[in-house]
Amino acid sequence: AGTPLAEQVLDQLATYYILQNDDAKAAEVFAELYHKYPKGAYGDRAAYCVRVSRVHVPFQAAPVYDKGRLQCSTKRALSNGTA
């Protein structure tokens, strides 16, 4: 099944790839994150970022979704307080 820590590590890895301007790799990690933890703490963000990647919008330029809770950029403000 997995652990919350493993889920968090995948989210942080995807964020790392965004910071490295490697959206393709970030999209792969978000897809894995969503596949493994669709209802987890990062599931909504992962699903949103996978959808963003499918329309070829750079993550840093993606619009904020769900009243500011979901962002693909590294400047996201999630309700669970992660960065």
Write out the chain's pLDDT in tens, 83 residues.
Answer: 567 899 999 999 998 998 888 989 999 999 999 999 999 999 988 888 888 887 776 666 666 566 545 567 655 433 334 43
Residue type, 56: H
What is the Cα–Cα distance from 30 to 11, expressed in whole angstroms?
A: 7
What is the Cα–Cα distance from 40 to 34, expressed in whole angstroms?
A: 8
